[in-house]
Structure 1
């Protein structure tokens, strides 16, 4: 789980008017900016060089950069987000990716794919089938990943209520350990892992983020924090309350490689 680079994007004035199902109220933009600055600072503290892109006012959800690309050190894939208002947002990331990657692929046609549905575990990619990512999208991505020797495993999360993306419920902490929403903990696909299962009332906190020697944990979920620290990880608390209001979490806020 070693990362040297990350891309983030500042939230714009339009951020509070983005897409959400959370029903937690409108986010406070000033607080969201403060939380974003701290997020970037924590990545730097963990040894990552962070490129912070300016806000895109035409795309209120563009702070969630993870959804528009899949990145590896030697290639990148530009996605096709499933939410129609975000569809053109991915193209705004293309010139940025061209500064970092020589090989860039694109999800095309009627395929939809959100980066939040993609979870890398060593040399395997878990591909979430969701309301935002369709079968054609995961099939196109799997074909690209296969070119580089990665195996793909499909996980259908559509039956799960209030789970937007695969990584809303499943995250790899390294060391053969998965952090899991309890509703996915019994899947055969995760049977061979060390499983850290968050309590259902803290399901949001399944979206923790391993960065080099640390694990970012969302503030306000004490049982999950204890679970992560008791497993031997160096946890760093970060408040992302304003992003939760917009269906976002820790992993959503950066592209990492």
Structure 2
């Protein structure tokens, strides 16, 4: 398994400590770390959607073509396709994976346009779950031992119409998680999560 460690956009001094802390944590998990040292490359994790079969990389204010190329070079076994992000902070501002082969997508015109591009670029067929609110499409899916399909999603207080849509996922354990405070600074559920499919050596 490979993980990226790079310099975040913005105040480098502020992020340097966090980057080194993350690097140390990944080393302790014995993961292969890929440094993105090209000063012309930008790649935001919120623009990277891994479906389990391929990568979609949003080209946004935070991610450019060079960043997508470096990701493609690091993960040569997977197809990497770019998707223009014309509205919103990044790709995961309106989509995420809701399970194996299931894309959760917002209903806005930019979200639906991005989905159409992903469908055209891919050799795989994905199911989709469309929610009325773009921000509600940012979910966290986990396949956990003894739990099965688990999905963290928006609360009914935040997006009542979207929360009702998630109830269609009868084979998922649904866990509503409030994102109200993080949303004030453009944060989403996936912004606060790093999922690693590996047991730590204790």
Relative to the length of structure 2, the TM-score reads 0.80
Decide whether the 8 Å contact of 2:95 with 2:134 is kept in 1.
Answer: no
Q: Bigger relative contact order, structure 1 or 2, given CA contacts below 8 A and separation 6+?
A: 1
- Aligned-residue offset at 1:84: 4.0
CA contact (8 A) 1:82 1:131 kept: no
Aligned to 1:188: 117
1:173 aligns with 2:98: yes
Give yes or no for the alignment of 1:151 onto 2:90.
no
- Corresponding residue of 1:251: 190
> Is 1:237 aligned to residue 176 of structure 2?
yes
Q: What is the CA–CA distance in structure 1 between the aligned matches of 2:59 and 2:15, rounded to whole Å?
A: 18
**Structure 1 segments unaligned to the other structure (5+ residues):** 1-73
Show structure 2 runs of 5+ residues with no match.
144-148, 197-202
Runs of 4+ in structure 1 deviating by more than 6 angstroms, as ranges, are none
C-alpha RMSD over aligned residues: 1.8
Counterpart mapping for 1:1-257 below 5 A: 74-85=1-12, 88=16, 89-110=18-39, 111-146=41-76, 149-157=77-85, 159-160=86-87, 163-182=88-107, 183-186=110-113, 187-190=116-119, 192-199=125-132, 202-212=133-143, 213-219=149-155, 220-232=158-170, 233-257=172-196
> Matches of 1:106 and 1:230 in 2, distance apart?
41
CA contact (8 A) 1:76 1:101 kept: no
